[in-house]
Structure 1
Amino acid sequence: MGAADLQYLLWLVGIATCVKVLLVPAYHSTDFEVHRHWLAITHSLPLKEWYSDESSQWTLDYPPFFAFFERFLAIFASWFDPQIVDLVNGQNYAVRSVVLFQRGTVMAADLVLYWGLWEIGSGLSRMRRRILYLVVIFSPGLLIVDHIHFQYNGFLFGILFLSLAAMRDGNDLLGGIYFAALVCFKHLFAIAGPIYFVYILRHYCKGPQKIARFCIMASAVISIVALAFGPFLYHGQMPQLMKRLFPFGRGLCHAYWAPNVWALYSTGDKSATVVMRKLFGVYIDRPKAGLTGGLVGDFTPYAVFPQITPIVSAILVIGSMMPCLVQAWRKPVPNAFIRWVVYTFTCGFMFGWHVHEKASLHMVIPFSVLAVERLEDARAFLFLSVVSTYSLFPLLFESKEYPIKVTLLLLYALVIWLNFSQLFGTSTKDSGDLKAKAASNTELNVQETVKPLIGPVEGAYLGGIMVIEIYGQCFHPLFFGGSFPFVPLMLTSVYCALGMTYYWLDQLHMVLSS
């Protein structure tokens, strides 16, 4: 990696920043006010009151490092516009200065993402490295969630890349420290904790010094956690903090169109109530649209199917990730670690409790590292990227954002197609690439270079997305007007959940066969 690669990365960053600037006036969700309020909480209140404040419904529910991050941003916010951090008078404050400041902080935080990309790309050939930069920086899901809907996921994925790069390079201690810090920023990344624990225990804590290494790793991780949670433990805030981080009362489904197995389960339960009423005359009372409103709140119990508890969800998550945990225990090799991490994130998304639809990015972004190395992974990545991005479309429900999200998805799919086609369709015919494969003792599969990026099954499924979208945009309003507004969301949820299930089964096969 040299000056040319850095110049290429900076060129992409410059273009992406221009795109993000153009998106500044776009719609922003309630998450915009959430983060503004967190600025006000951390600026206006003493630390001991951060996790007990209830001056707004947008209570602080991220781990301490993120709270400290908000406190850091609040310093500049108070200089930029003092009302941003006014706990009483700043509520729902969204004038131009606030929008510019908060959008700008997301762009600035993305510097960590670019750093992480630079580190994770260091182990790849130049062409693969540049394609990786391209597919991550211009990820439509990341642009939609962070720079339109509004969140700070980019810099968190940068920390994840730093951890994965360290683990791949054999620096398990540094990788563990990065991961511990990441979880202290956003606890949803903790779903990969089991694979980190098993892999580090078997790969790092081995040999004559295994006890010493275990103590070193444990001390480092405990120090990070103590640095994050220690001040709140001192002030007696841990019970309230844990309650905020793990709001089990919110229920199994965050929103009905989060595309995982619980979307299918919920649809099955609703269908079963209809069947029992129509065919058997059995009427089962349940709140109208209790599972289809797409709102965060207390969970409506299932009418026919067995109830799902947090314990059941946890058992399914751990049980589904057992194949990679067993592999990591038996043969902890660095070149398989990224795949195992991606798979555990997939299991968490598919079976987790109160999963956000935005959590599909936890699979997509790190999977890009694998996608630039093998054709089979490139094919799965293209499929996953389209399904994941389309599942995020309901986040942007205003008509003025519709052309933006469609354009982002179509252009991105085209860019992936062209770059991966070049990488796997023509680059392997180059003598230089053949020599590189021979030097690395990589098996050269000529047949692999002629496989299409989209197979017939995947192609038929992706074509179905167009049918779902045309129905939701054109035919449903034509036939029903404003009635049954949940139906397009339900169709999107179920159809994308089928695609996500197909992807999960494919990755399970990849893990078992690796």
Structure 2
Amino acid sequence: MASATVDRGSWFPALALGVSLLKALFINAYHSTDFEVHRNWLAITHSLPVSRWYHENTSEWTLDYPPLFAWFEFGLSHVARHFDNEMLAVDNLNYASPATVLFQRLSVIFSDLLFIYAARECCRCVRNRRGARDIFNRPSFVLAVLLLWNFGLLIVDHIHFQYNGFLLGFLLLSVAKHLQSQHLQGALLFAILLNLKHIYLYVAPAYGIFLLRSYCFTEDDIGGSIKWRSFSPLRLLALGSIVVAVCALSFGPFIAMGQLPQVLSRLFPFKRGLCHAYWAPNVWALYNVLDKSMAILGVRLKLLNETTLPQASMTGGLVQEFQHSVLPSVTPSVTLVCTLLSILPALSSIWCRPRGPRGFLRCLLLCALASFAFGWHVHEKAILIAILPLSLLAVESREDAGIFLLLSTTGHYSLFPLLFTPAELPIKYALMLMFTIFSFDALGKLHSAQGSLLRPLEAVYLSGLVVVAVACELVFPLSPWQQKLPFLPLLATSVYASLGVSYSFVRLYITILRRGGGRKSKQL
């Protein structure tokens, strides 16, 4: 990936400062149960000995992130006590004093400094066009806005409440280091990320294959055919040592206490069911609806006996296991097999035909989307793991820009049900509208010489989001279905969005299999 220096002007600091001030305006906005989750983790790590961290269950929101994140909460707790020491009492459930709210909101804003730095490093990895006077024709500027002002991060972290920006900062910084050929630093950052939040196992296969193929092996191009030249055991040892060292630092104390099985049981709670309370827009949302539709049709045609069918708890919006009525029920092992099968072609492509950093980044995206599409108990917020890295490709390639517009618009809209209070209704629509308009306008200008970024049917599909929004936000609350089918708007949003996400996944897959990473002239 060619490296270029970010403009010496003041636009990047201005963008970062502007979005930070916007985040501060959301301090008193609605916050979800995740606010109490992290307050409880502050209390656990501050008030209890390490030996009890992964055993404590006074609250239903038990500690279920890897140990490095627990230490992160431990560090925050020592600052939190200067705001309101009462928030650090383990039995002080659902405590949300003004000082507690202020601290937790500020902790997310300040931890986002890592994300801002990662965005700056990513902007260094794209070429600016020579002689471009219009700032919208500078890929680095467009990329900075797409990352720093990402709509999904704003509402998920700073209204709904989480630390995704901090975590995604590690991911983007790791990607940037690989794009700058600083592979050991990139591997170290990713190892730390895995020990902060294990959901990033989604993209671990892309890292493993890329580093093994492109860092541990060297190649010689003779007569147009690639031949093995040498394998470096020392490089493999260096990579392995990094991973082992970080994992030992993270899990070592718990292994020494004989608590590794307990920690792993918290990290992988398979009894939570196939789908999250609010279905992620993936293949299983379509599978659930197909099963429910077949059951209803079977009962009406008198092919099925309603009394013998399993209860349709999957439409109750609850986190639990359930049995499908007609189609075979899905187990964790089935989702694992489906995920592995869906990423194998992408992994094979970068192994057999490595295309450098661009091929790695595209494979990372496919692993993220495959895990999102077929994973067990996937959270809707996991779509951000694909949307943000795709921004780097979108500013360089017209085809990738089209995929980004489709995936980001659909994926971001699928997050709307997270903010369901009336006060946040205008906020979420205004923020998404501004981000979407900028994305279409800026990417359109970057690739203006190459025609429309969206195909006609894709544009029609995105227009359908307006219909879904009107039906869910305006029509449904006034209809008699509100009392009878309260889960219907969530179902409609998830199912419609799953079509766009699945299509984006397939279209992105076609590009890596057909073009092997894209045109060299546009290579990052």
The normalised TM-score by structure 1 is 0.92
Distance 1:5 1:29, change over 3 A: farther
- Conserved in 2, the CA contact under 8 Å of 1:257 and 1:492? no
Cα offset, 1:209, TM superposition: 5.5
SS in 1 for 2:377: coil
Name which of structure 1's ranges 232-241 and 280-289 shifts more when overlaid on structure 2: 280-289
Partner of 2:134 in structure 1?
A: none
- In the alignment, residue 210 of structure 2 is paired with which amino acid? Y
- Conserved in 2, the CA contact under 8 Å of 1:256 and 1:293? no
Deviation sequence 1:398-431 (CA, Å, 0-9, x none): 1111111111111111111221122121xxxxxx
**Equivalents in 2 of 1:138, 1:162: separation in Å?**
17
Deviation sequence 1:238-288 (CA, Å, 0-9, x none): 111101100101011013431000000000111111011001242244565
Partner of 1:505 in structure 2?
A: 506
Unaligned runs of 5+ in 1: 426-448
Deviation sequence 1:87-141 (CA, Å, 0-9, x none): 12x3111121111100000000000001111112212124111111101111111
Between the aligned residues of both structures, percent identity stands at 42
Partner of 1:121 in structure 2?
A: 123
The structure in which a higher percent of residues are helix is 1
Please report the RMSD computed on the Cα atoms of aligned residues, expressed in angstroms. 1.5
Query: 4+ residue runs of structure 1 moved beyond 3 angstroms?
Result: 1-6, 284-289
Alignment of 1:69-468 (within 5 A): 69-88=72-91, 90-126=92-128, 127-207=138-218, 208=230, 210-284=232-306, 285-286=308-309, 289-296=312-319, 298-332=320-354, 333-425=356-448, 449-468=449-468
Cα offset, 1:375, TM superposition: 1.1
**Equivalents in 2 of 1:161, 1:477: separation in Å?**
40
**Equivalents in 2 of 1:148, 1:289: separation in Å?**
32
Distance 1:6 1:185, change over 3 A: farther
- Conserved in 2, the CA contact under 8 Å of 1:13 and 1:137? yes
- In the alignment, residue 404 of structure 2 is paired with which amino acid? F
**Equivalents in 2 of 1:401, 1:251: separation in Å?**
30
- Conserved in 2, the CA contact under 8 Å of 1:52 and 1:240? yes
Name which of structure 1's ranges 4-13 and 175-184 shifts more when overlaid on structure 2: 4-13
SS in 1 for 2:322: coil
- Conserved in 2, the CA contact under 8 Å of 1:195 and 1:325? yes
Partner of 1:430 in structure 2?
A: none
Cα offset, 1:344, TM superposition: 0.6
The normalised TM-score by structure 2 is 0.91
Distance 1:281 1:320, change over 3 A: closer
**Equivalents in 2 of 1:454, 1:19: separation in Å?**
31
Partner of 2:11 in structure 1?
A: 8
- In the alignment, residue 324 of structure 1 is paired with which amino acid? A
- Conserved in 1, the CA contact under 8 Å of 2:394 and 2:404? yes
Distance 1:146 1:36, change over 3 A: same
Count of aligned positions: 489
- In the alignment, residue 317 of structure 2 is paired with which amino acid? G
- In the alignment, residue 175 of structure 1 is paired with which amino acid? G
**Equivalents in 1 of 2:273, 2:99: separation in Å?**
36
Deviation sequence 1:411-469 (CA, Å, 0-9, x none): 111111221122121xxxxxxxxxxxxxxxxxxxxxxx242133211111111111111
**Equivalents in 1 of 2:6, 2:244: separation in Å?**
38
Name which of structure 1's ranges 76-85 and 481-490 shifts more when overlaid on structure 2: 481-490
Deviation sequence 1:481-513 (CA, Å, 0-9, x none): 422111111111110111111111111111111
Distance 1:281 1:316, change over 3 A: closer
Cα offset, 1:359, TM superposition: 0.5
**Equivalents in 2 of 1:189, 1:371: separation in Å?**
22
**Equivalents in 2 of 1:78, 1:486: separation in Å?**
40
